[in-house]
Amino acid sequence: MSAIESVLQERRVFPPSEKTSASATISGMDAYKALSAEAERDYEGFWGRLARETLAWKKPFTKVLDESNAPFYKWFEDGELNASYNCIDRHVEAGHGAKNAIVFEADDGAVTNVTYQDLLTRVCRFANALRKRGVKKGDRVVIYLPMSVEGVVAMQACARIGATHSVVFGGFSSKSLNERLVDVGAVALITADEQMRGGKALPLKSIADEALAAGGCEAVKDVIVYRRTGGKVAWTEGRDAWMHEIVENESDTCEPEWVSAEHPLFILYTSGSTGKPKGVQHSTGGLLLWAAQTMKWTFDAKPAEDVFWCTADIGWITGHSYITYGPTAIGATQVMFEGVPTYPNAGRFWDMIAKHKVTIFYTAPTAIRSLIKASEADAKVHPKSYDLSSLRILGTVGEPINPEAWVWYYENVGGARCPVIDTWWQTETGGHMITPLPGATPLVPGSCTLPLPGIMATVVDETGQEVPNGQGGILVVKRPWPSMLRNVWGDPDRYKKSYFPEELGGRLYLAGDGAVRDKETGYFTIMGRIDDVLNVSGHRLGTMEIESALVANPLVAEAAVVGRPDDTTGEAVVAFVVLKRSRPEGDESTKIANELRAWVAKEIGPIAKPKDIRFGENLPKTRSGKIMRRLLRSLAKGEEITQDVSTLENPAILDQLGEAR
């Protein structure tokens, strides 16, 4: 039996690492239990204490939690603070101005160090430039930028003047960008000429121009452009301005706008099971508190010695909480990377860890799985070929990590010295929720273990009753927590229905994931989404969103989208399509499948492209006309159909749809 097989069979428990346990912020299970007990005993006292200890308040809050308009909760509402002051100024004031805030490595390997003092200057100048353009407290600013210091500066500058940013991932299409600009009611857009990924320049400004031209965003008065590559771009006089030009004559100081803790720090769009993406609205005080607190707890980050690296993009929540806000809020040094893990070769991550002496490394299972494959094919890019001895903590996020990948990560990247911290959380939760603690929790591969102190997570059945350990159910959080979303932007009804459904009693936060707790330890294992949301490479995609994109194509009559497990990306998108004309065969079907993939990339973004497209003359429907998605899921997986198909109107269709394109 191989080492991995025995781990899987025994559900082997890995002790918390000897390298971290003694000096950890939360050292040992007793310390964890004591903090959890404090939260149980005096919930508001616990959160109030953390908020006072962790953040700098211009005006202290007098009330911790307001539940009078539940589920619209308010935290620390009469307290005033500024996120950018907390993330930058206070470290400079404490004498750490010369410390590196960001060590930026570009796609081509060029490294730029940005100290806290540099960051302060750049944020102030840009914030002043935004103010000069009339951007003010409460305005929404959309940021469509590559991984860049400029991205962090733009976000922090918005926070400094009380503007609410909404970052749109640089891989989204002009249509997706347009929808977000319109929904959020943006007054300004910050973008770049192009982005560099894997040695290639990809357009951004031209996509942004298209998005703006598509209508509905007349409120966007300013388009500010970061010059990344110097590539040629179209220019609209009076609207467009270069970032480097507008900051030139600005002052190095900028008085922060002190805002209520409840002031919206950002809105970040994420896919839901129905309709258009939801604008998840986060608060200033709550988000910042938890981003900072979890840096200290989950990552055990010690600003004086650690070098933290989160590989996520700033276009996702992970980049918000664990690049822009968390590491800076605690005054840590972090590595930020522009490129992709496979360029110039699949050893890039390991090379960068060695080069920058990274101590805490946070990435996604999908990246780990693709790097396992690459290192099997080429020993030169195997982590063991690099000096990774600086590492002390490894984190993972975005999807369930399969135990095989966990063990590989533990043994090969950490060299069996570093705990693997499997963090379960979501765009909506703002920060980590269920996760091991490096110095305390015994680890079980594939389990995110236990909720953090103060997080009242549990598993319930469809009526909201808690189920016993060992029984699967629906993952919920029983009490509000500071970094939770505050609303779905402009749609409070959707907020209530999606996250606090009446079926569960209206007060439980519904995460949308299935989970089971271990009989003995109570450890959580996440079993994936229970709604029509797919998780591809750690990114959420609504099946309905992809279906609507497909049916918008003039060739398509009907489409149904499901997920199937994929070795690298976790899940893959499979689309079942009925064309308006007859079912294509052979080369023609390959050609149309490719056309439809390109179409989806244009409508949503390349991440949503179906891996398989299958054409049928029809979709499997019941006599009442309902598409039988269960059957489609089995077909997508290549399983034999064992389900009862007697209610199916057209059983013959199943043969046609079994064929992948």
Closer residue to ligand PRX (CB): 257 or 428: 428
Closer residue to ligand PRX (CB): 540 or 614: 540
Is 197 among the annotated ligand-binding positions? yes
Does residue 317 belong to the site contacting ligand PRX (CB under 6 A)?
yes
Among 327, 398, 445, 473, binds ligand PRX (CB under 6 A): 398
Of 149-157, 418-426, 451-459, 609-617, which part binds ligand PRX (CB under 6 A)?
418-426
Q: Are 164 and 109 in contact (CB under 8 A)?
A: no
Does residue 426 belong to the site contacting ligand PRX (CB under 6 A)?
yes
SS3 string, 146-164, reads: CCCHHHHHHHHHHHHHCCE
Among 7, 526, 550, 635, binds ligand PRX (CB under 6 A): 526
Does residue 513 belong to the site contacting ligand PRX (CB under 6 A)?
yes
Residue 313 beta carbon to ligand PRX: minimum distance, rounded to whole angstroms = 11
Alpha-carbon distance of 536 to 607, in angstroms, equals 8
Residue 235 beta carbon to ligand PRX: minimum distance, rounded to whole angstroms = 35
Is 141 among the annotated ligand-binding positions? no
**Please, which residues bridge with residue 210 across strands?**
none
Closer residue to ligand PRX (CB): 216 or 528: 528
Regarding beta strands 194-197 and 200-203, do their DSSP bridges make them parallel or antiparallel, or are they unpaired?
A: antiparallel
Does residue 537 belong to the site contacting ligand PRX (CB under 6 A)?
no
Does residue 400 belong to the site contacting ligand PRX (CB under 6 A)?
yes
Among 281, 328, 427, 458, binds ligand PRX (CB under 6 A): 427
Does residue 545 belong to the site contacting ligand PRX (CB under 6 A)?
no
Does residue 318 belong to the site contacting ligand PRX (CB under 6 A)?
yes
Residue 400 beta carbon to ligand PRX: minimum distance, rounded to whole angstroms = 4
**Inter-axis angle of helices 116-132 and 149-161, to 10 degrees?**
60
Closer residue to ligand PRX (CB): 118 or 399: 399
Does residue 569 belong to the site contacting ligand PRX (CB under 6 A)?
no
Does residue 535 belong to the site contacting ligand PRX (CB under 6 A)?
yes
Of 394-402, 450-458, 556-564, 627-635, which part binds ligand PRX (CB under 6 A)?
394-402
For the residues of 283-322, what is the DSSP string, one character each? EHHHHHHHHHHHHHHTS---TTT-EEEE---TTSHHHIII
Residue keyed to tokens 């480097």: 244
Closer residue to ligand PRX (CB): 356 or 540: 540
Counted residue by residue, the chain has a size of 661
Is 427 among the annotated ligand-binding positions? yes
3-class DSSP state of 140: strand
Is 200 among the annotated ligand-binding positions? yes
Considering only residues 264 through 283, tell me which ones interact with ligand PRX, judged by CB under 6 A. Answer: 270
Is 309 among the annotated ligand-binding positions? no
Strand order in the sheet with 264-270: 240-242, 222-226, 186-192, 140-144, 164-167, 264-270, 278-283, 487-488
SS3 string, 78-138, reads: CCEECHHHHHHHHHHHHHHCCCEEEEEECCCCCEEEEEHHHHHHHHHHHHHHHHHCCCCCC
Residue 329 beta carbon to ligand PRX: minimum distance, rounded to whole angstroms = 18
Half-sphere exposure of 615 (CA within 13 A, CB side): 21
Residue 318 beta carbon to ligand PRX: minimum distance, rounded to whole angstroms = 5
Does residue 311 belong to the site contacting ligand PRX (CB under 6 A)?
no
Among 17, 82, 375, 423, binds ligand PRX (CB under 6 A): 423
Closer residue to ligand PRX (CB): 485 or 657: 485
Please report the beta strands in 205-263, taking only residues with DSSP state E, as ranges in sequence order.
222-226, 240-242, 259-260
Alpha-carbon distance of 55 to 60, in angstroms, equals 10
Does residue 449 belong to the site contacting ligand PRX (CB under 6 A)?
no
Q: How many residues bind ligand PRX (CB under 6 A)?
A: 22
The pair of structure tokens assigned to 379 is: 């020993």
Is 47 among the annotated ligand-binding positions? no
Q: Are 513 and 476 in contact (CB under 8 A)?
A: no
**Please, which residues bridge with residue 335 across strands?**
103, 309
CB nearest ligand PRX: which residue? 427
Tell me the CA end-to-end span of the chain in Å, nearest whole number: 37
Alpha-carbon distance of 426 to 429, in angstroms, equals 5
Closer residue to ligand PRX (CB): 349 or 406: 406
Alpha-carbon distance of 422 to 406, in angstroms, equals 9
Considering only residues 58 through 117, tell me which ones interact with ligand PRX, judged by CB under 6 A. Answer: none
Does residue 540 belong to the site contacting ligand PRX (CB under 6 A)?
yes
Q: Are 388 and 409 in contact (CB under 8 A)?
A: no
Is 75 among the annotated ligand-binding positions? no
Does residue 422 belong to the site contacting ligand PRX (CB under 6 A)?
yes
Q: Are 273 and 542 in contact (CB under 8 A)?
A: yes
Is 429 among the annotated ligand-binding positions? no
The pair of structure tokens assigned to 404 is: 């095989």
Does residue 512 belong to the site contacting ligand PRX (CB under 6 A)?
yes
**Please, which residues bridge with residue 115 across strands?**
100
Specify the DSSP element, H or E, that contains 352: helix 348-356
Residue 19 beta carbon to ligand PRX: minimum distance, rounded to whole angstroms = 22
Among 26, 186, 448, 516, binds ligand PRX (CB under 6 A): 448
Binding residues for ATP: 398-400, 422-427, 513, 529, 540
Binding residues: 197-200, 318, 398-400, 422-427, 513, 529, 537, 540, 551, 556
Binding residues for CoA: 197-200, 318, 537
Contact residues toward ligand PRX (CB under 6 A) are: 270, 317-318, 397-400, 422-427, 448, 511-513, 526, 529, 535, 538, 540
Binding residues for Mg(2+): 551, 556
